[in-house]
Amino acid sequence: WRAVSDRIDSVAPSATLAVDSEAKAMKANGVDVIGFGAGEPNFPTPDYVVEAAVRACRDPRNHRYTPTPGLPELREAIAAKTLRDSGYRVDPAQVVVTNGGKQAVYETFQVLLNDGDEVIIPAPYWTSYPEAVRLAGGVPVPVFSGADRGFEPRIEDLEAARTARTTAVIVNSPSNPTGAVWSADTIEAIGRWAVEHRIWVISDEIYEHLNYDGAHTAYIGESVPEVREQLVVLNGVAKTYAMTGWRVGWMVAPEPIRAAAVKLQSHLTSNVSNVSQRAALAAVGGSLDAVAAMREAFDRRRRTIVRALNSIPGVVCPTPTGAFYAFADVTGLLGHELGPHHAVAQSSSMLASLLLQEAHIAAVPGEAFGAPGYLRFSYALSDDDLKEGMRRFAEWAR
């Protein structure tokens, strides 16, 4: 007799959500924890989006199921937005609206992979990618690029990892966890390489509008038109419009993948909450003013946190130009006596635990992203909390 399947047993829980819930539990117990863990903007959802949802609640038409792949109007708005931002035309029929970008990631691998198929995942990677691949019976193949290379994958490294079982490669720029924005040359080279070897490209563009210092998101479907037949674009409203809790994401995929994802979703969750879809329609169909305001605040915090991290002896943090994460190399702190109790961390994971317990700041260890020796700090928190959190880190590490 056994309780759970081998399949679910082979998967790790989301480390980012785990850190966040531990921090929240400590807070609930009266400990004043500062959370750098969650990838969640600290801004409210824009008013006009909330108003659209309130109106939607009152309209009985929205008390019913929508088509599984989403409201036709929302799919049209997503197609129009793709043309506006990514620079190429997609058919609204290619869009599947999902319960957050996370469900789009899950469904993509469920419909793409057979047992043993390999997915090349540039590391450091978002913690859910390898687990979503494993849940689909696939084999994650991480390819690491460190801070010295700007966390940007090299084609020769991807090529060295390619085998007859390679089915897909993930592109995530701007990146979680590194905040790196991959160059247009790298994006184009990956597209050409994928076309040459008939490899699916999964392009997660959820941080597309969060760029700093003049960096631009390069869109693989725009730079390499030939890749579109083997390209799945993943995106959502969470990060651009401060809508993490509304749970609206999507995929844009060519026909066999799209139809397969709709079939899967029809048995899994059916449609996304109608009210949330109406809110997403107001967001996606509206302007980018709200994200411009948030970007300004993020940019200010980005400079503050990078300066603060680099002023701590033993910490080295390259300046990220995208998303809202600082990814710091903390190997210089490992193996030393630190903190009021002279604790010694042998790994970034131990260091994150010590920082939470002793300095009351929550950061996510690099182990969760295929990058031991690093800590990820989300700077989507208030300026005051950010400064106080960094003060605690510096004092603890002194």
Residues that bind ligand PLP (CB under 6 A): 39, 100-102, 126, 172, 176, 204, 206, 236, 238, 244, 249
Closest to ligand PLP by CB, 179 vs 359, is 179
Beta-carbon count within 10 A of 398 CB: 9
C-alpha dist (Å) from residue 30 to 23, 292, 393, 395: 11, 35, 20, 22
**Whether the Cβ atoms of residue 389 and residue 36 lie closer than 8 Å to each other:** yes
**Whether the Cβ atoms of residue 364 and residue 375 lie closer than 8 Å to each other:** yes
For the CB of residue 238, give the shortest distance to ligand PLP in the complex, in Å. 4
**Whether the Cβ atoms of residue 126 and residue 118 lie closer than 8 Å to each other:** no
For the CB of residue 189, give the shortest distance to ligand PLP in the complex, in Å. 21
- Total residue length of the chain: 398
**Whether the Cβ atoms of residue 375 and residue 305 lie closer than 8 Å to each other:** no
Closest to ligand PLP by CB, 224 vs 380, is 380
For the CB of residue 186, give the shortest distance to ligand PLP in the complex, in Å. 17
**Whether the Cβ atoms of residue 39 and residue 326 lie closer than 8 Å to each other:** no
What one-character-per-residue DSSP string does 216-276 give? Answer: -PPPHHHH-GGGGGGEEEEEESTTTTT-GGG--EEEE--HHHHHHHHHHHHHHT-S--HHH
Closest to ligand PLP by CB, 56 vs 121, is 121
What is the maximum alpha-carbon separation in the chain? 62
Closest to ligand PLP by CB, 11 vs 394, is 11
For the CB of residue 313, give the shortest distance to ligand PLP in the complex, in Å. 30
Closest to ligand PLP by CB, 238 vs 308, is 238
For the CB of residue 58, give the shortest distance to ligand PLP in the complex, in Å. 26
For the CB of residue 190, give the shortest distance to ligand PLP in the complex, in Å. 16
Residue nearest to ligand PLP (CB): 100
Closest to ligand PLP by CB, 129 vs 212, is 129
